[in-house]
């Protein structure tokens, strides 16, 4: 019997191919849409995360409370031990990235080494030098460095491109940083300008510079110290899970504070923050979810209508066949069941195919992205033209469920008609087609 149905389905394109295609495209569109929307939002989160907050941030409370002053003296020591602890107590999916936020005066010398110009800069120190460093990819340095190169040797500096313009810098120039050491002393050091970086946000393009973490530790006498531990989770981890991941780290924190690494200062008190705790992103996410909910609802509703219609159309065109089958002695119920089964099978296959297609596209967007921008447009690390996606189980479910139920419901509603019409009537439709 099942083979018979299967054969029938495969031979009749209108029974298999068209509904299959409609469900597949519908599901693919839904998965794609959700993936795209999540991607846009995750993109926004990620931009903030990459340079500022991480997905999870482990930071000394006194530093965090006076963040606007960049109090480097409240950095957290014991880099290696802290990292070991974080790896042990944090979620294994987290990639921990040590950073130093710093501020200094950048002094540009003339040929004789006398001061030519000076300006205060805000800096971030990240692990730049190792070509394998995940930070290079994370900060999209390949794309964001618009002139010159990513630092490859010690004491090289990346300068925001507008800052470079203001100071009339060229690649290879010396830039002296003058700031405070960890313990409040004078820190001075020479750097070589290796490249100009575009963040895409004027405030950063005009004021920000990037140096290697090891260099910063040397310049500011912060050996084995960092101001921030930023934890990065893969794109596949939903932001809804950040809170749980954060709490897991917090559980072990009390014990750590009670028995801290010996390098820590006595009043050091690290705290764990998720990105949602910072820059008010938590509230924004709630708003985003609301908007997404509305869009998904509208879209699902439309998809249900489309699939229902497709089921209806496909069903109606088979009235003749139904008449024939009824005439041959199949009961109404059996017929309905077989139709439902058929619709279910087609819906399932369509949903699978849709997931596959939609999922592949979203996966591609997630991993590679598509650059929609024109080359001249203002874009950079923080704002860019690359469309991203994000694959999630939820996206699939939200695609599959309406995709399948609607097509099954559509054909069932269409087949309800067989109860209302006589076999003869249905049979006649076979003739007129």
In the complex, the smallest distance separating the C-beta of residue 203 from another protein, rounded to whole angstroms, is 6
Subset of residues 48 to 87 that bind another protein, contact rule: CB under 8 A: 66, 68-69, 73
In the complex, the smallest distance separating the C-beta of residue 282 from another protein, rounded to whole angstroms, is 9
Question: Residue 261: helix, strand or coil by DSSP?
Answer: coil
Q: Which of 80, 137, 168, 286 binds another protein (CB under 8 A)?
A: 286
Residue (33 or 237) nearer to another protein, CB: 33
In the complex, the smallest distance separating the C-beta of residue 97 from another protein, rounded to whole angstroms, is 22
Residue (94 or 306) nearer to another protein, CB: 306
Q: Which of 7, 10, 61, 115 binds another protein (CB under 8 A)?
A: 115
**Sole window of 92-100, 234-242, 243-251, 311-319 interacting with another protein (rule: CB under 8 A):** 311-319
Alpha helices, H only, 391-433: 393-420, 423-432
16 touching another protein, by CB under 8 A? no
In the complex, the smallest distance separating the C-beta of residue 134 from another protein, rounded to whole angstroms, is 26
Binding track over 199-238 against another protein, x by CB under 8 A = -xxxx--xx-------------x-----------------
In the complex, the smallest distance separating the C-beta of residue 192 from another protein, rounded to whole angstroms, is 12
Kindly list the distances between the CA atom of residue 134 and the CA atoms of 95, 96, 129, 195, 242, in Å, as whole numbers in the listed order: 9, 10, 11, 19, 21
Q: Which of 9, 29, 77, 275 binds another protein (CB under 8 A)?
A: 29
- The rounded distance, in Å, linking the Cα atoms of 172 and 193 is 5
Q: Taking a C-beta distance cutoff of 8 angstroms, is the pair 249, 209 a contact?
A: no
Instruction: Give me 31's structure tokens.
Output: 């998965």
**Sole window of 28-36, 92-100, 252-260, 339-347 interacting with another protein (rule: CB under 8 A):** 28-36
Q: Taking a C-beta distance cutoff of 8 angstroms, is the pair 12, 342 a contact?
A: no
Q: Taking a C-beta distance cutoff of 8 angstroms, is the pair 31, 359 a contact?
A: yes
120 touching another protein, by CB under 8 A? yes
List all residues 6 or more positions away from 7 whose beta carbon is below 8 Å from its beta carbon.
none
Subset of residues 134 to 173 that bind another protein, contact rule: CB under 8 A: none
189 touching another protein, by CB under 8 A? yes
257 touching another protein, by CB under 8 A? no
List all residues 6 or more positions away from 277 whose beta carbon is below 8 Å from its beta carbon.
none
In the complex, the smallest distance separating the C-beta of residue 44 from another protein, rounded to whole angstroms, is 9
- The rounded distance, in Å, linking the Cα atoms of 423 and 412 is 18
Q: Taking a C-beta distance cutoff of 8 angstroms, is the pair 121, 104 a contact?
A: yes
In the complex, the smallest distance separating the C-beta of residue 336 from another protein, rounded to whole angstroms, is 19
Question: Residue 43: helix, strand or coil by DSSP?
Answer: helix
Give the HSE-up count for residue 147: Cα atoms under 13 Å, Cβ half-sphere.
12
Q: Which of 105, 146, 368, 397 binds another protein (CB under 8 A)?
A: 105
Q: Taking a C-beta distance cutoff of 8 angstroms, is the pair 415, 339 a contact?
A: yes
Listed in order, strand segments (DSSP E) in 311-392 are: 370-371, 386-387
In the complex, the smallest distance separating the C-beta of residue 23 from another protein, rounded to whole angstroms, is 10
Cβ-based burial of 242 (10 A; exposed 0-12, middle 13-18, buried ≥19): buried
379 touching another protein, by CB under 8 A? yes
In the complex, the smallest distance separating the C-beta of residue 392 from another protein, rounded to whole angstroms, is 17
In the complex, the smallest distance separating the C-beta of residue 239 from another protein, rounded to whole angstroms, is 15
Question: Residue 128: helix, strand or coil by DSSP?
Answer: coil
**Sole window of 133-141, 176-184, 337-345, 398-406 interacting with another protein (rule: CB under 8 A):** 176-184
Place of tokens 């019997």: 1
- Closest among 318, 270, 306 to 15, alpha carbons compared: 318
316 touching another protein, by CB under 8 A? yes
402 touching another protein, by CB under 8 A? no
Residue (201 or 401) nearer to another protein, CB: 201
255 touching another protein, by CB under 8 A? no
96 touching another protein, by CB under 8 A? no
Q: Taking a C-beta distance cutoff of 8 angstroms, is the pair 208, 122 a contact?
A: yes
């Amino acid at each position: 019997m099942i083979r018979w149905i299967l054969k029938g389905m495969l031979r009749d394109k209108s029974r298999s191919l068209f509904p299959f295609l409609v469900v597949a495209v519908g599901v693919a569109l839904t998965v794609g849409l959700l993936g795209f929307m999540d991607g846009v939002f995750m993109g926004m989160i990620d931009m903030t995360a990459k340079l500022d907050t991480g997905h999870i941030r482990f930071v000394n409370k006194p530093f965090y409370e006076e963040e606007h002053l960049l109090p480097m003296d409240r950095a957290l020591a014991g880099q290696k031990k802290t990292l070991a602890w974080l790896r042990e107590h944090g979620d294994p999916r987290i990639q921990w990235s040590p950073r130093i936020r710093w501020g200094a005066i950048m002094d540009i010398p003339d040929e004789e080494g006398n001061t030519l110009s000076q300006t205060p800069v805000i800096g971030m120190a990240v692990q730049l030098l190792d070509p394998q460093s995940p930070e290079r990819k994370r900060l999209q340095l390949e794309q964001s460095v618009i002139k010159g190169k990513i630092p490859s040797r010690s004491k090289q500096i990346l300068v925001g491109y507008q800052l470079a313009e203001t100071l009339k810098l060229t690649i290879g120039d010396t830039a002296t940083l003058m700031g405070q050491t960890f313990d409040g002393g004078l820190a001075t050091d020479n750097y070589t300008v290796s490249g100009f970086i575009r963040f895409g946000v004027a405030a950063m393009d005009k004021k920000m510079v990037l140096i290697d973490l090891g260099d910063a530790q040397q310049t500011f006498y912060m050996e084995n110290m960092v101001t921030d531990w930023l934890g990065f989770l893969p794109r596949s981890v939903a932001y809804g899970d950040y809170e749980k991941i954060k709490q897991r780290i917090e559980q072990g924190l009390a014990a750590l504070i009670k028995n801290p690494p010996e390098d820590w200062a006595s009043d050091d008190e690290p705290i764990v923050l998720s990105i949602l705790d910072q820059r008010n992103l938590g509230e924004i996410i709630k708003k985003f979810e609301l908007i997404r909910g509305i869009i998904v609802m509208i879209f699902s509703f439309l998809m249900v209508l489309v699939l229902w219609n497709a089921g209806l159309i496909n069903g109606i065109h088979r009235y003749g066949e139904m008449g024939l089958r009824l005439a041959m002695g199949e009961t109404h119920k059996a017929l309905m069941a077989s139709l439902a089964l058929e619709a279910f099978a087609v819906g399932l296959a369509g949903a699978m195919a849709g997931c596959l297609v939609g999922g592949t596209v979203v996966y591609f967007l997630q991993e590679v992205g598509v650059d929609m921008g024109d080359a001249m447009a203002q874009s950079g690390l923080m704002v860019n033209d690359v469309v991203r996606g994000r694959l999630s189980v939820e996206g699939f479910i939200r695609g599959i469920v309406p995709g399948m139920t609607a097509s099954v419901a559509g054909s069932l509603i269409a087949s309800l008609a067989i109860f209302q019409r006589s076999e003869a009537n249905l049979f006649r439709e076979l003739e007129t087609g």
